[in-house]
Each structure stands twice: as structure tokens, then as C-alpha cells.
């Protein structure tokens, strides 16, 4: 009995520790200037106000940054879903020369940190005149190895007989992909969509390098930039953080089953 | 199934050409650039860069700031890595217990920091660490600890970044550990109970060995991720105070995109790659060693 109590007390303390930063963030975001810089800290606003959010949207370009983040995350998700699903399907269900070699090459190159590619990528996109455009973010995100791997693992479980039957009925390869594979892969496509959307939304280093103008910044870059000028304005910065975090938290809460599945699938490779 | 090569290539071409042109080519190009003195003049005209062999790498060896960044990054990885794995394993063990209620709620709460935007939560923590108004010093005050200037003191800045990173990351590993724990067959524990094994003996003799592949996977991805430390010091300390939190990636970013010493920056990126590669090999090796 005491053990059961002890475990729950530990869990509660851990939960509180995990949540306190979010609670304080939410509380400060709805305060007047200066009301969060007090001792002892307030975990609930003394007078609730939306003035920080109004300031972010009317005087600063946070609306534009939100739009950038949203459009880029959506576009990268759609394009990479299309490319990755085709490649993943080919790796799962086709026999062709060099298949194992290619697949192993892709898997082993997952260990290369993305930072290695950033300098040449920057030079490449600069010579194409694409730095500080949406394409600078979209192009490197068009396909990714983890996505191909995830789809391939899932598509392996689709019975060959289904594909053969469709082929006998005269379906072309693309029709089979479009009408059989994609619908059957829907759960893993949802998983991958959440992963891609969130990682594009949360990404920082590459957008920091590739976007050079405030009107092009995504939310994390805009926020980091804002922090430079507002180190003494926790209320404003917390409002900005709430705007940045809220969409991904909502997507996660709505689709957590799919998200957790993706982590599990990613961890049982090999 | 018959080989249908042309259709397979049709499906592969978009993704693989994108990965080839925008991943593999840049990796090779980075290697080439690391052997040149590519700088701001070369940015205007690439002909202004020359091959200088291993010069950048030799310069790195003599660069105290690089050694500082390397030391900081190892400090971070070697403390935050084990800490994150240990905490996520503990959380998974407790949450996997039959005695615990509201499991999914706790799991959700612990996982929440993982999905949030790193830059945004780093900003939140910057204020949490505020020496006068910060929540952390307020809470520590209850157990009699005097206020600490977390991000302003060279001795405390890295521990502060470690604490924040573990908070952000442990939920991810916890989920993987919970899945690993659920795959351990129940009869092993039942047999151990009959044999009179204590809880601790069960943990040592069943849970840990059965969980070994999961632990290996978790520690590899954690270490790879932690070596790429960037946003936390960029937001919370700008690498300071006294460069005590400057990370390798941050130094690479400065060299490449602030000072436009791209040859030098590329050599830093490659050193990082080699370190990550060797780190992963060592972990695989240690795992094989304990299997025998």
C-alpha cells in the first residue's frame, strides 16, 4: 500500500516539474508589461489581458511569421509525403537491381548529421537565387530517408496477392499505387504527416541560415530574433511562445495515437 | 514477383534524386570545401578559393575556442545523455507498474515537452532561470538554497542547459522504454518470484538484459541528438558566459555564417560527423561486449 502511494507521489512531483514551465508561460502571456517580473512568481495572471498578443500581431510581424510557418510546414509535408510514399512502396514491393545496396546506403547515411550539408546547401541555393525564399526550406525537405523507411516497413505487410490481382485486372503501376497502396498505407501516412509537419514547424538551424528577412522568418527564427530585443519582457516573449507551441500541441493531442506509433516503429528497425 | 525495374525506378526517382542532389552531393561538397580556404571573397567568386589540404583541420587542433566548444559539448553529452536515459527508464518502470492509476494522463504530461518547439521552450526556461524572478530559484528557496545566477555563472550555465534538455527530451525515450518493457514476457517474472528473487534481483536479471536492445537504441539516438546541441545555448546564453556553453554546432554556425569562413566551418562539421560516428561505434561495441 505504501509503495503504491509512493509511486503516485513520485509521478505527481514529476508531472508538476514537467508542467510548471508551461503553467508559468501561460500565466505570463496574459499579463500586463512587467507583471511577470515579480517575486514570488505568479502562476496565475493578476489581471488577465490580451495586450501582449495584440502587440505581437499589430506592431510586430508575428501573423506573417505564423503564416510562413504554417504554409512551409504544410507544403513540405505534402510534397515529402508524396515522394517518400512512392519510394517506400518501391523498396517494399518491387524487385530491381541494386535494391539492397541502395536501401542500405540510405539507412547507413542516416548517421550523417544534417549540419554537414548546410554549408554547401546554402551555397547551392544562393547561386540559384533561392536564399530567403520558401523554396530554400521546401527543397531540402522534399524527401527524407526516415520517411521512406517508415513507409517501406508498413508497406511490407500489404499482401502481394492484392497487387497481383489488381495487375491482372489491368491496373497500371501508378494506379495500383494510387488506388491500393495509398489507401492501405493511410495510418502510416498520417503518422509521417504529423512527424514532418512538427519537425518542419519546430526546425531552427536551417531556417535561421536560409531565411534572412523578418517577413520570411518562420516562428522559431522570429522568436529567437525577438528575444534579442526583448530580454526584459517576459510577458511579450511568453505570448510569442504560446503562439508558437500551441499549434503543434493541438496537432499532437488530436493525433497522439499516430504519433506514438511512429516512435515505436522507428525504434524497432533492423 | 517479376522484376519490374522501370516502374520501380519511376517511383524511386523523385525521392532519390532529391536526396542525391540535396543530401549526398552537399555531404561530398562539404568534404571538398573543408580542404579549401573558402571565405567571404570566395562567396562572390568561387575562383577565389584555393585548396589548402588539411590546413583547416590543423588550425582546429590549435584553436583554443574549438577545444573549448568540444569540451563543452562532451560535458553536455556525457552528463545529459546518461541522465536522460536513466530518468526516462525510471519513468517508464513506474508507469509500467500495475499499481499505477491514470497512466495515460501521466504519459501524456511527460511527453508534452517533446512535441513543443525547442526555441520557444528555451525562451521559457531562460526566464525560469532568472536569478531574481525565476521560478527555479523560488522553488529552491523552499529547501533553503540561496538564489543561483543559473545562466550568468560559468559554472552553472551548462548544468542549467543540461537540466532543460533532459526535461525536453526524456519523454521520447520513456515511450520507447515503455514499449520495450511491454515486450518482456510476464512468465519470466512469475518464474523469478517462485524462485524467491527480490524486486532488485528481478530488475538486474530480467528487466535490464531483456531491455538491452532498447537501451542501446535509446542511448544511440540520444547521443547523436545531443551532440548536435545548438538552439539551447543560442537562445539561453549565446554560448556564454565566458564561452562556457559554446557548442560545436554553434561554433560551426559562427565560423560559417557569421564570419563566412566556410572552409573552416566545413572542417568543424566533419569533425562533428566523425565524433558522432565513433560514438555510435563505441556504443555498438560495448553492447556486443556485454552480450558475450
pLDDT in tens, B146-172: 999 999 999 999 999 999 999 999 999
Which of B:184-213 have CB within 8 Å of A? none
What radius of gyration, in Å, describes the C-alpha atoms of chain A? 23
pLDDT at A186 over 60: yes
CA A214/CA A200 separation, integer angstroms: 18
Per-residue pLDDT, averaged over A187-200, amounts to 94
Contact A244 B101 (CB under 8 A): no
Percent of chain A with pLDDT over 70: 98
Dihedral angle computed from the Cα positions of residues B272, B274, B276 and B282, in that order, rounded to the nearest 10 degrees: -150
Q: How many residues does chain B have?
A: 292
At B246, list the grid cell: 559554446
Helical segments of B228-261, H only: 231-236, 248-253
Interchain proximity A28–B8, CB inside 8 Å: no
- Facing A38 at nearest CB: one of B11, B133, B224: B133
Closest CA to B10 of A151, A90, A159: A90
Q: Average of pLDDT values for A244-270?
A: 83
pLDDT digits (tens, 9 = 90+) for B232-247: 999 999 998 999 999 9
Shortest CA gap B277–chain A (Å): 7
Chain centre distance of CA B285: 20
Q: Which three cell numbers stand for residue A205?
A: 538551424
Sign of the C-alpha dihedral computed for residues A173, A83, A180 and A100 taken in this order? positive
Residue of B nearest to A10 (CA): B94
Which residue in chain B has the smallest CA separation from A202? B117
Q: For B14-81, give the DSSP string.
A: HHHHHHIIIIIHHHHHHHHHTTB---HHHHH-GGG--B-TTHHHHHHHT-HHHHHHHHHHHHHHHHHH
Helix, strand and coil in chain B, % to nearest 5? 75, 0, 25
Secondary structure letter of residue A42 according to DSSP: P
Closest CA to B128 of A149, A48, A145, A27: A27
pLDDT at position B291, please? 59
What pLDDT does B3 receive? 53
Please, what is the average pLDDT of chain B? 92
What integer pLDDT is reported at residue A270 of this predicted model? 35
CA count, 13 A, side-chain hemisphere, A20: 18
Select the residue of B12, B43, B116 nearest A245 (Cβ to Cβ): B116
Contacts of B179 in chain A (CB under 8 A): 264, 267
Cβ–Cβ of A223/B124 closer than 8 Å? no
Q: Which residue of A has its CA nearest to B117?
A: A202
| Cβ contact B132–A39 (<8 Å) | yes
Sign of the dihedral through C-alpha B236, B242, B243, B245: negative
| pLDDT at position B138 over 60 | yes
* The three cell numbers locating residue A259: 504519433
The percent of residues in chain A predicted with pLDDT above 90, rounded, is 79
Residues of A with CB below 8 A from B234's CB?
Answer: 204, 224
pLDDT digits (tens, 9 = 90+) for A204-233: 999 999 999 999 999 999 999 999 888 889
d(CA A262, CA A258): 6
pLDDT 10s digits, B18-33: 999 999 999 999 999 9
C-beta of residue B227 within 8 angstroms of C-beta of residue B276: yes
Homologous superfamily (CATH) of B62-291 is MetI-like (1.10.3720.10)
- Sorted by sequence, the CB contacts under 8 Å of residue A158 that are 6+ apart come out as A92, A93, A180, A181, A184, A185
CB A22 within 8 Å of CB B112: yes
Q: How far apart are CA B47 and CA A27, in angstroms?
A: 56
Residue B56's pLDDT is what?
94
Q: How confident is the model at residue B249 (pLDDT cuts 50, 70, 90)?
A: very high
| Banded model confidence at residue B290, pLDDT cuts 50, 70, 90 | low
pLDDT of residue B43: 82
The C-alpha atoms of residue A193 and residue A258 are separated, in whole angstroms, by 10
Phi, psi of B51 (to 5 degrees): -75, 130
Residue B292, pLDDT > 80, answer no
Contacts of A140 in chain B (CB under 8 A): 22-23
Question: Is residue B283 within 8 Å of B212, Cβ to Cβ?
Answer: no
Q: Is a pLDDT exceeding 60 seen at residue B1?
A: no
Question: Are A115 and B115 within 8 A, CB to CB?
Answer: no
B272 neighbors A113 (Cβ within 8 angstroms): yes
Q: Report the Cα B10 to chain-centroid distance in Å.
A: 36
Is the pLDDT confidence value at A85 over 90?
yes
Q: Which of B178, B160, B186, B248 is nearest to B218 (CA)?
A: B178
Tell me which residue has cell 536479471.
Answer: B205
CA gyration radius, chain B: 24
| Amino acid B47: pLDDT | 81
B144 touches chain A (CB under 8 A): no
**Integer Cα distance of B40 and A103 in angstroms:** 38
- B249-268 mean pLDDT: 95
What are the boundaries of each domain within chain A?
1-49, 53-267
Interval B192-220: pLDDT, tens = 989 888 888 999 999 999 999 899 999 99
* Residue A117 scores a pLDDT above 70: yes
| Residue in the structure block whose three cell numbers are 548546410 | A118
- Kindly indicate the confidence band of residue A269, based on its pLDDT and cuts at 50, 70 and 90: very low
Residues of A within 8 A of B176 (CB-CB) are 263-264, 267
CB B147 within 8 A of CB B141: yes
Q: Is the pLDDT of residue A24 over 80?
A: yes
Interface predicted TM-score (ipTM) of this complex, two decimals: 0.92
Domain A53-267, CATH among 3.50.50.60, 1.20.1740.10, 1.10.3720.10, 2.40.30.10: 1.10.3720.10
Report the C-alpha gap between B46 and B59 in whole angstroms. 22
B123–A241 CB contact, under 8 Å: yes
Residue A210 Cα to chain centre, angstroms: 18
CA A56 – CA A238 distance, rounded (Å): 11
* Ranges of each domain in chain B: 1-29, 62-291
The answer to whether A139 contacts chain B (CB < 8 Å) is yes
Our CA dihedral for A230, A66, A263, B209, rounded to 10 degrees, sits at 0
Residue of B6, B10, B23 best to disrupt the A interface, most CBs of A under 10 A: B23
Distance CA(B229)–CA(A204), nearest Å, equals: 12
Say if CB B31 and CB A120 are below 8 A apart: no
Of A113, A160, A264, which has the smallest distance from its Cβ to B273's Cβ? A113
Average of per-residue pLDDT across B177-196: 90
Instruction: Tell me: pLDDT of B2 over 70.
Output: no
Place B48 in a pLDDT band, splitting at 50, 70 and 90: confident
Amino acid at each position: 500500500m505504501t509503495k503504491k502511494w509512493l509511486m503516485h507521489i513520485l509521478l505527481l512531483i514529476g508531472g508538476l516539474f514537467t508542467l510548471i514551465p508551461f503553467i508559468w508561460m501561460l500565466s505570463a502571456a496574459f499579463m500586463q508589461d512587467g507583471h511577470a517580473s515579480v517575486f514570488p512568481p505568479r502562476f496565475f495572471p493578476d489581471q488577465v489581458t490580451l495586450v501582449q498578443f495584440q502587440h505581437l500581431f499589430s506592431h510586430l510581424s508575428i501573423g506573417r511569421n505564423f503564416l510562413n510557418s504554417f504554409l512551409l510546414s504544410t507544403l513540405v509535408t505534402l510534397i515529402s509525403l508524396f515522394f517518400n510514399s512512392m519510394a517506400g512502396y518501391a523498396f517494399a514491393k518491387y524487385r530491381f537491381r541494386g535494391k539492397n545496396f541502395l536501401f542500405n546506403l540510405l539507412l547507413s547515411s542516416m548517421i550523417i548529421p544534417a549540419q554537414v550539408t548546410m554549408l554547401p546547401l546554402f551555397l547551392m541555393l544562393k547561386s540559384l537565387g533561392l536564399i530567403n525564399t520558401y523554396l530554400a526550406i521546401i527543397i531540402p525537405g522534399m524527401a527524407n530517408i526516415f520517411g521512406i523507411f517508415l513507409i517501406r516497413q508498413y508497406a511490407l505487410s500489404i499482401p502481394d496477392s492484392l497487387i497481383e490481382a489488381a495487375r491482372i485486372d489491368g491496373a497500371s503501376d501508378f494506379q495500383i499505387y494510387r488506388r491500393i497502396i495509398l489507401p492501405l498505407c493511410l495510418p502510416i501516412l498520417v503518422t509521417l504527416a504529423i512527424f514532418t509537419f512538427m519537425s518542419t514547424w519546430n526546425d531552427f538551424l536551417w531556417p535561421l541560415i536560409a531565411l534572412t528577412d523578418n517577413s520570411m522568418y518562420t516562428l522559431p527564427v522570429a522568436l529567437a530574433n525577438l528575444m534579442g530585443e526583448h530580454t526584459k519582457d517576459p510577458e511579450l516573449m511568453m505570448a510569442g511562445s504560446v503562439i508558437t507551441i500551441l499549434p503543434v500541441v493541438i496537432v499532437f493531442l488530436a493525433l497522439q495515437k499516430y504519433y506514438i506509433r511512429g516512435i515505436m516503429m522507428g525504434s524497432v528497425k533492423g | 514477383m517479376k522484376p519490374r525495374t522501370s516502374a520501380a525506378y519511376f517511383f524511386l526517382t523523385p525521392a532519390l534524386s532529391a536526396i542525391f542532389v540535396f543530401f549526398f552531393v552537399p555531404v561530398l561538397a562539404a568534404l571538398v570545401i573543408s580542404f579549401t580556404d573558402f571565405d567571404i571573397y570566395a562567396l562572390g567568386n568561387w575562383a577565389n578559393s584555393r585548396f589548402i589540404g588539411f590546413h583547416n583541420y590543423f588550425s582546429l587542433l590549435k584553436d583554443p575556442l574549438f577545444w573549448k566548444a568540444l569540451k563543452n559539448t562532451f560535458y553536455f553529452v556525457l552528463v545529459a545523455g546518461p541522465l536522460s536515459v536513466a530518468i526516462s527508464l525510471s519513468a517508464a518502470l513506474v508507469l509500467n507498474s500495475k499499481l499505477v492509476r491514470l497512466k495515460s494522463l501521466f504519459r501524456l504530461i511527460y511527453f508534452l515537452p517533446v512535441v513543443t518547439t525547442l526555441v520557444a521552450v528555451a525562451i521559457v526556461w531562460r526566464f525560469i532561470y532568472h536569478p531574481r524572478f525565476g521560478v527555479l530559484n523560488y522553488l529552491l528557496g523552499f529547501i533553503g538554497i540561496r538564489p543561483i545566477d543559473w545562466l550568468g555563472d560559468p559554472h552553472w550555465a551548462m548544468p542549467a542547459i543540461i537540466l532543460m534538455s533532459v526535461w525536453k527530451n526524456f519523454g521520447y525515450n520513456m515511450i520507447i522504454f515503455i514499449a520495450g518493457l511491454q515486450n518482456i514476457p510476464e512468465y519470466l517474472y512469475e518464474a523469478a518470484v517462485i524462485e524467491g528473487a527480490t524486486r532488485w534481483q528481478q530488475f538486474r536479471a530480467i528487466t535490464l538484459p531483456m531491455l538491452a536492445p532498447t537501451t542501446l537504441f535509446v542511448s544511440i539516438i540520444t547521443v547523436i541528438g545531443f551532440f548536435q546541441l545548438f538552439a539551447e545555448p543560442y537562445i539561453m546564453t549565446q554560448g556564454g558566459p565566458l564561452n562556457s556553453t559554446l557548442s560545436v554546432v554553434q561554433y560551426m554556425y559562427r565560423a560559417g555564417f557569421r564570419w563566412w569562413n566556410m572552409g573552416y566551418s566545413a572542417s568543424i562539421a566533419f569533425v562533428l560527423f566523425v565524433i558522432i560516428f565513433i560514438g555510435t561505434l563505441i556504443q555498438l561495441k560495448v553492447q556486443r561486449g556485454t552480450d558475450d
